[in-house]
Amino acid sequence: MKKFHLQKNYAIINFDAAICDSEVKIISSKSFEQLLVQYVRKLRNEKDPMMDRLKGIRASMMLDAYKLLLIYPYEDVKKKHPNLNTLLNQRDTFYHFTEKFYDYWRKLERFGVMSSSKNYAQSVKAPDLISISDRFNERILYLYRTLSQNLLGEDFKVYRQLPAGVNANVMLVPHRFTYSEAYASLQNVGFITRLLTRPPFMVYSQSNTRQGIFQEIFENPLKDLSINKLHYFCYPVWVGPLLTFVYFHRDFMHHGVALSNLFEPAIYDDYKDRKPELVYVYGIREEQFDGKYYHDKEEDLYIGFVSRNTKNDYFGYLKKMLLTLHNVRMIDRNYLPIHGAMVNVVLNNDEERNIVVIGDSGAGKSETLEALRQIGKEYIKTMNVIFDDMGTFIIDGKKLYAHGTEIGAFVRLDDLDSGYAYQEIDRSIFMNPDQTNARVILPVSYYKFIMMNHKVDYLLYANNYNETDEGVRFFDHIEDALEVFRRGQRFAKGTTSEVGLVESYFANPFGPVQRMEQTDKILVEYFNVLYQQKVKVGEIYTQLAVPGQEGIGTVKAARKLMEYLKTSFKK
């Protein structure tokens, strides 16, 4: 991997190769020059008025001036280096250029990488990951302040300790999981064994919605793909109980890093002697395999592919393919994948109930449960998230239980209670926060908890389109319940490319739609067990897509649900 990789929106620094141990070495590096040239070119292409005042001044002259101003006062540089006076005579403009250059650097997504060895515990090098990131941050701040204050002619009155180094720093170990020739292109790619982020972490992607469903193919295309191992990273994670290797192209590194907030990372000892059950290659060049997945029965794994097309530069493509692969694997095991949210509610008298709300994207699942948390403060001691988007129902010893898949939540910023995401800003990863369908990824649970056997007390379908004050209704007959849950109706809210009132089998286009016949047998079996166990199965009216009810409907539904909970707890 080269020392410094710079693109329009991001930069990757190889701390093993780049020499960043002093401000002088940083400003004298080819990397700094490359960044400066790119910024000057950007301003000229945009016809920035500042460049009119700096007309005829080359980036190389600016670079020479910066090297001297780092060490000597402005007046001394001006006297001793008259060849730079064309630039230095524009002191005020050069100062503003420097401020904007610093802002430009900080608006890039900045990643650091370091290598480690599989021969010793990864925790040994974790302090290096932190200290190198911290020192680089301090040097960039010192560099900026020294140059700006020298050009300004006075010290700053307020110092802001902004994250100016890297947004994230990762430790890599090359890893081979098989000697199968079919998977040779994925062997010895760098696996992320430790990761550091510097919140608040803001990601700006080129796309903001996901479209379509993933389709199964029946031949492994991996042998036909052009994969440069130096351009890919792998993040090993647990998707529910399944060991998963997520290979992502460096152009999608911002999404790969964001995985750390959503899925439980796997440590090296977890996978050093075993193969994964799921593999995902995110960011391939070949468009013909975009959105496809394959079941390799010989290697006993599922492998998915999404292309590097700009439309796929959206975290939903990373998350939902992983969940599709997880779900088809669960269906193979005769388990029922659930597209919904589940919480464990503990009231003040220490009695507990587990609530599952099913619905496709934008139906109001998480929003209703968040409203329940807000309005139930007087009665609820705690609410523990079991899953926020996808879970699994299993039957163990004739009893039905639920497991989660994720430790985090990927939710619309607008649908959270006002200010909630910002209360968690020190942990959150924000995606396109100033745009429609702005999202936040925040940790909400822990792995051991989501993988426990959780009984189900309430199973509710999220209806976001019917206008009613009923709040919640329950189905006395299993046939009525199956009809609603199978149909999977919702009014699309702009989180995908769908428009209007749409249907998706069992509200889950991530596995059950692809395996409808197989899933339907499981669905009937599991609903029979739900009714045998006296689980309350019904429909909850979130009204999230009803004009004028967007922020009220979920509260009404939550209040009605709270009434049932209070009645239930009194018995």
Q: What is the pLDDT of residues 339-383, one digit of tens each?
A: 999 999 999 888 999 999 999 888 888 888 888 988 988 889 999
b vs e for 51-65, b when ≥16 Cβ sit within 10 Å of the residue's Cβ? beebeebebebbebb
Residues 234 and 355 in one domain: no
- Angle in degrees, 0-180, between the axes of helices 516-532 and 315-332, rounded to the nearest 10: 70
Determine which of 313-327, 485-499, 505-519 has the lowest per-residue pLDDT on average: 485-499
Could you read off the pLDDT of 498-555 as tens digits, one per residue? 778 899 999 999 999 999 999 999 999 999 999 999 999 999 999 988 998 887 999 9
Residue 106 CA to residue 201 CA, distance in Å, equals 11
Question: Residue 286 carries which side chain, given as an amino acid letter?
Answer: E
Per-residue model confidence as pLDDT tens digits over 455-471: 999 999 999 999 998 99
- Are residues 289 and 174 part of one domain? yes
Question: Cα dist. 235→148, 175, 295, 501, 522 in Å?
Answer: 39, 11, 21, 37, 32
Q: Do 127 and 13 share a structural domain?
A: yes
Checking if the pLDDT of 421 tops 50, the result is: no
What range defines the domain where residue 119 resides? 4-152
> Are residues 456 and 418 in contact, defined by beta-carbon separation less than 8 angstroms?
no
Q: Please name which of 305, 440, 468, 456 lies closest in space to residue 394, comparing C-alpha atoms.
A: 456
Q: What is the DSSP string of 141-209?
A: HHHHHHHHHHHHTS--SS------S-SEEEEEEEE-----GGGGGGTTEEEEEEEEE-SSEEE--S---
- Residue 419 resides in a domain: no
In a domain, 9, yes or no: yes
What pLDDT does residue 493 have? 67
Considering the domain architecture, whether residues 116 and 212 belong to the same structural domain is answered as: no
Query: Is there a contact between 153 and 192 (Cβ–Cβ < 8 Å)?
Result: no
pLDDT of residue 544: 87
Q: What residues contact residue 416 under an 8 Å CB cut-off, 6+ apart?
A: 367, 370, 440
pTM given for the model: 0.94
Are residue 478 and residue 348 in the same domain, yes or no? yes
Q: Which runs of E-coded beta strand occur in 362-435?
A: 380-387, 390-396, 399-404, 408-412, 429-431
Structure tokens at 261: 């907030």
Nearest residue to 351 via CA among 316, 380, 313: 380
Q: Which residue has the tokens 């010290």?
A: 155
Alpha-carbon distance 403 to 61, whole Å?
A: 61
Give 476: exposed, middle or buried? Use CB within 10 Å, 0-12, 13-18, 19+: exposed
Last residue of a domain, one of 270, 298, 332: 332
Are residues 121 and 176 both part of a single domain?
no
Cα distance between residue 405 and residue 108, in whole Å: 32
Q: Prior bond to 200 cis, omega within 30? A: yes
Backbone angles phi, psi at 49, to 5 degrees: -55, -25
More confident residue, 66 or 362: 66
Is residue 396 located within the same domain as residue 523? Answer: yes
Task: Give the pLDDT mean for 562-568.
Answer: 84
The three-point CA angle 370-375-381 to 5° equals: 85
Q: Looking at the structure, do residues 312 and 393 belong to the same domain, yes or no?
A: no
Query: Across all residues in the chain, what is the average pLDDT?
Result: 93
Determine, yes or no, domain membership for 298. Answer: yes
Same domain, 173 and 148: no
pLDDT beyond 80 at 424 = no
Identify the pLDDT of residue 305. Answer: 98
As a whole number of angstroms, the distance between CA 213 and CA 324 comes to 9
| Domain boundary, last residue among 298, 332, 366 | 332
* 192 neighbors 172 (Cβ within 8 angstroms): yes
91 and 232 assigned to the same domain: no
Q: How far apart are CA 283 and CA 250, in angstroms?
A: 8
- CB proximity list for 329: less than 8 A, separation 6 or greater: 242, 277, 278, 302
Q: CATH number for the domain including 358?
A: 3.90.228.20
pLDDT on residue 551: 79
Q: Which stretch of 34-38, 111-115, 500-504 has the lowest confidence by average pLDDT?
A: 500-504
96 and 215, same domain (yes or no): no
Q: How confident is the model at residue 201 (pLDDT cuts 50, 70, 90)?
A: confident
> What's the whole-number mean pLDDT along residues 394-419?
85
What's the structural domain count of the chain?
3
pLDDT digit string (tens) for 143-198?
Answer: 999 999 999 999 999 998 889 999 999 999 999 999 999 999 999 999 999 999 98
Question: How far apart (Å, rounded) are the C-alpha atoms in residues 414 and 380?
Answer: 24
